[in-house]
Amino acid sequence: MITVSGRSVCAGVSFGPVFVFSREESTIKRRHIESSDDEIARFESARKQAISELGMLYDKAISEVGEANAMIFQIHQMMLEDLDYIESIKNIITDQFINAETAVGQTCDNFVQMFRAMDDAYMRERSADVKDVSERLIKILSGRDDGGIISDKPIIVVTDDLAPSETVQFDKSKILAFVTEDGATNSHTSILARTMNIPAVIGAKGVLNKDFHGKQAIIDGSEGTLYIDPDDTTIAKMTEKKKELECQTKALQRLKGCKSVTKDGQKIELYANIANVLDIASVLNNDAEGIGLFRSEFLYLENIDYPSEDVQFGVYKETLLKMEGKRVVIRTLDIGADKNAAYFHMPKEENPALGVRAIRLCLQRPEIFKTQLRALYRASVFGKLSIMFPMITSEWEILKTLEIIDEVKEELSSEGIAFSNDVELGCMIETPAAAVISDILAKHLDFFSIGTNDLTQYTLAADRQNSEVGEFCNMYHISVLRLIDTVVKNAHKNGIWVGICGELAADENLIELFLAMGVDELSLTPSAILSARKKILETNVSEIRGVVLNKYLERQ
Ligand code: PEP
Ligand code: MG
């Protein structure tokens, strides 16, 4: 048995085979060949296999992320049918008597250069697709088995780290757990694992070992441990632990339908964080009282081009309808930093987390912002919609945003399109600037939602993505907790509600503190809702208020 340890980001126990996903660049070996006919036949068979793999990916993606998002795989299939591309590869094989891998590599380089030199931005983007399909062909030709995370049976995924755009390609029903060699507690892979409620461990040094691929393993998410080829004692212990956890989950089911109220009658709303409409099943299953954070940027990350107003309208409408009148807070596009889609053509930045992200991008490119706002307002008649703006640092950003919203509403009215006049507007408080001026911001808004992931990173100057500064990115830091307290007070002084939607909201050690501060709402990963409710039902705030506030806000 081999034991690999890391840090826990999501509890739970899973048994299954390890799938090592390493993103090694392929090195192509140039070889002279005897028969160009045989080599062309080898190329043809690889091409057919690639087309069939892409067909499978398309089918999976369609049921998971919808037709518009699945289209990328069809485009890749079409590229493999492109006569110029095929002819170029065959000519290189015949003229130079070299192996198909090298011919594909050379053709890829030529096509990439050609696409990159084009004036049209859309065509320039296609160079990445040529690279992608060529890489798939080379992998098949060279017999390498690292073509992505595709498996027909459930697996424990072991990798270095995952970009948000990679996670959208998974068949999530086949993922038992994540173990990453790098990664940070509040990276989007960790957030995804918690949303899917599967065990996850990060910072597991040495885990990215090809020899582990296919081996049976057990992951203990709460301990942050992966057991490869587990011995009988470990199997017995983990089987017992899994059963216990299942019993606890079952026991929580009885809290469905209860209000989240403390023993002394203080109410707090428990909402859910989601990234797409598929997550709503889990929101309803865990009896969330609303959606407190819909990260709408995932709609953009899942697409190969800007999602149209109609596509967005469809998604927002479906969300509101499924929530049947419960509050749904949709955050406008928070693209930038680690969340990046190629078609935005964002210039490279030295410090992207301090660069053009979220509201900054929306204000610089109002056409993108307006498309989203139109879709949101059109959907607003189907439920109880609240719109929230990310990465606010100044009052003028809110004023400018409100101006744009007025324009959007005027346009819709003049086109005879219905929208609700009761849409609440709020902003994320996730920069120290916004927290400090929350009394000023509150005058223009209906609510605040505190994003503790970014608030911690910006307050403590510690990159949330960088595991090397993990100990500095401390969400319990007194400065972060004091800022939260300031925001709650400023919100209430101005008569607006305030919630927390960062990962800290799900931290059960802090629920007493948030109750003592008077936070109105916590928005959590859906699977954490019922156990948070249990904690709330067991708490008597008036008894603990003084002690808790003193403990967290007065001492380092
Ligand atoms: C946050 O920053 O706390 C937040 C909820 O937003 P995100 O994690 O998507 O940046
Ligand atoms: Mg944030």
CATH 3.20.20.60 occupies which residues in the chain? 269-554
The kind and range of the H/E element at 58 are helix 36-65
Strands 327-331 and 424-429 turn out to be unpaired
Average the pLDDT over each of 114-128, 270-284, 317-331 and give the range with the smallest value: 114-128
Residues labelled catalytic: 188, 501
pTM of the model: 0.76
CATH architecture of 2-18+149-237: 3-Layer(bba) Sandwich (3.50)
- In whole angstroms, what is the distance from residue 375 CA to residue 71 CA? 22
Nearest to 13 by CA among 169, 187, 227, 166: 227
Any atom of ligand 1 within 6 Å of the Cβ of 195: no
Tokens 């990046």 label which residue?
340
Give every CB contact of residue 31 below 8 A, 6+ residues apart in sequence: 98, 99, 101, 102
**Other Cβ atoms closer than 10 A to 410:** 10
Contact 323, 282 (CB under 8 A): no
CATH 1.10.274.10 occupies which residues in the chain? 36-142
Domain 269-554, CATH homologous superfamily name and number: Phosphoenolpyruvate-binding domains (3.20.20.60)
Contact 519, 488 (CB under 8 A): yes
Question: Which amino acid is residue 256, in one-letter code?
Answer: K
Residues near ion ligand 2 (CB < 5 Å) are 430, 451, 454
Q: Which pLDDT band holds residue 25 (cuts at 50, 70, 90)?
A: low
Note the pLDDT of residue 69: 64
Nearest to 428 by CA among 462, 466, 387: 387
Measured in Å, residue 367 CA sits from the centre of ligand 1 at 24
Any atom of ligand 1 within 6 Å of the Cβ of 453: yes
Any atom of ligand 1 within 6 Å of the Cβ of 502: yes
Looking at the DSSP bridge assignments, the partners of residue 267 are 261
* Most confident range, picked from 113-127, 160-174, 325-339: 325-339
Note the pLDDT of residue 136: 86
Note the pLDDT of residue 165: 53
Measured in Å, residue 443 CA sits from the centre of ligand 2 at 22
List the CATH code of the domain at 36-142: 1.10.274.10
How much is the average pLDDT of 323-338? 95
The kind and range of the H/E element at 131 are helix 121-141
- In whole angstroms, what is the distance from residue 311 CA to residue 319 CA? 13
How far is the CA of 311 from the CAs of 18, 307, 338, 370, 544, in angstroms? 37, 6, 24, 14, 48
Contact 184, 467 (CB under 8 A): yes
CATH 3.50.30.10 occupies which residues in the chain? 2-18+149-237
Mind spelling out the 3-state secondary structure of 215-243? CEEEEECCCCEEEECCCHHHHHHHHHHHH
Measured in Å, residue 415 CA sits from the centre of ligand 1 at 35
Question: Which amino acid is residue 406, in one-letter code?
Answer: D
Per DSSP, the three-state class of 499 is: strand
